[in-house]
């Protein structure tokens, strides 16, 4: 994975993605937590507590080698990506809730991501010379997450019209760069086929489980269908670029980036299928009512 595409393209792709996230955020998105605190708390608990446990169980159940197991935990601890907002919009979720969750989760990840990574490194013993993420490494995580988001929010505050016009181009550029980086990361790895055979199934199962749990737990807890749909995509669609960046630039381990790179490919069709199935399951009454009207 030491190709120029990854070493140069990854930081650029991540910066653009996080900057694009900032362009879509305002202080009101953070303040909105007061309007639906129950939904935010439930969904964030699923993201922060339940999801790493799911990843841990899959890593142990599939007996992944230590570096791949840590990589799966990094992915689980990464916040939802901006793509979750798009899927939520397509499949009638509460997009405003998605935006709020993405904003809060991106900040929360500054604490939870290093914590989960430390626990994973200590448990699986991946890299005998690595005890955990040291303060300097935590600053790196802070910088790659928060700085581009803050810059994007600043641009939106100063020039909202420009931010609105740039929203679509930045999203398109982010998607293209993400695809190039993920494909380059996999093709640039000598044991790419072996790794795909090892973690292709487990990352797919992780994606499916995340989507289902992300929808089912809030629904059982009494949240509305649109809120639960938003939760499903927020929990099920992760910022794989951030996870790859943490593995490559912070932990300096290419193998740990493999689960996120493969997940970055399989999550798109899986999330689309989940959305279509979910809409058919929970929306017939609304659809029939609309047709009758």
- The whole-chain average pLDDT of the chain stands at 79
Contact 12, 239 (CB under 8 A): no
Instruction: Give pLDDT tens digits for 41-53.
Output: 999 999 999 999 9
The per-residue pLDDT for range 166-216, each reduced to its tens digit, is 877 877 776 676 666 666 666 665 666 677 777 889 999 999 999 999 999
pLDDT at 74 over 70: yes
What contacts 290, CB < 8 A, 6 or more positions away?
none
Q: How many other β-carbons are positioned within 10 Å of the β-carbon of residue 233? A: 31
Residue 70's pLDDT band, with cuts at 50, 70 and 90, is very high
Query: 247 and 112 in contact (C-beta within 8 Å)?
Result: no
pLDDT at 244 (0 to 100): 83
The model's pTM: 0.76
What pLDDT does 210 receive? 95
Q: pLDDT over 90 for what percent of the chain?
A: 25
CA–CA separation, 261 and 240 (whole Å): 7
Question: pLDDT higher for 99 or 118?
Answer: 118
Domains of the chain plus CATH, in order, are 4-283 (1.20.1530.20)
Q: Assess whether pLDDT exceeds 50 at residue 278.
A: yes
């Amino acid at each position: 994975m030491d190709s120029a595409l990854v070493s140069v393209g990854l930081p650029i792709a991540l910066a653009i993605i996080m900057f694009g996230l900032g362009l879509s955020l305002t202080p009101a998105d953070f303040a909105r937590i007061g309007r639906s605190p129950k939904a935010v708390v439930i969904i964030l608990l699923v993201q922060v507590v339940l999801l790493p446990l799911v990843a841990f169980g899959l890593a142990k159940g599939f007996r992944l080698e230590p570096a791949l197991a840590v990589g799966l935990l990094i992915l689980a601890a990464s916040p939802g990506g901006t793509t979750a907002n798009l899927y939520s919009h397509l499949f009638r979720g509460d997009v405003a809730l998605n935006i709020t969750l993405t904003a809060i989760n991106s900040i929360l990840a500054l604490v939870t991501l290093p914590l989960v990574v430390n626990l994973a490194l200590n448990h699986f013993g991946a890299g005998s010379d690595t005890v955990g993420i040291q303060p300097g490494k935590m600053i790196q995580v802070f910088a790659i997450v928060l700085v581009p988001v803050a810059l994007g929010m600043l641009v939106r505050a100063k020039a909202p019209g420009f931010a609105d016009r740039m929203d679509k181009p930045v999203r398109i550029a982010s998607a293209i760069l993400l695809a190039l980086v993920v494909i380059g990361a996999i093709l640039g790895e000598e044991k790419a086929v072996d790794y795909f055979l090892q973690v292709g199934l487990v990352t797919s199962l992780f994606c499916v489980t995340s989507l289902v749990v992300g929808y089912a737990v809030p629904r059982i807890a009494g949240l509305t269908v649109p809120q639960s749909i938003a939760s499903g995509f927020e929990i099920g669609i992760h910022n794989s670029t951030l996870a790859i960046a943490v593995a490559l630039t912070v932990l300096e381990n290419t193998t740990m980036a493999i689960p996120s790179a493969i997940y970055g490919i399989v999550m798109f069709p899986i999330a689309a299928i989940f959305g279509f199935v979910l809409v058919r399951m929970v929306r017939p009454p609304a659809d029939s009512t609309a047709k009758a009207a």
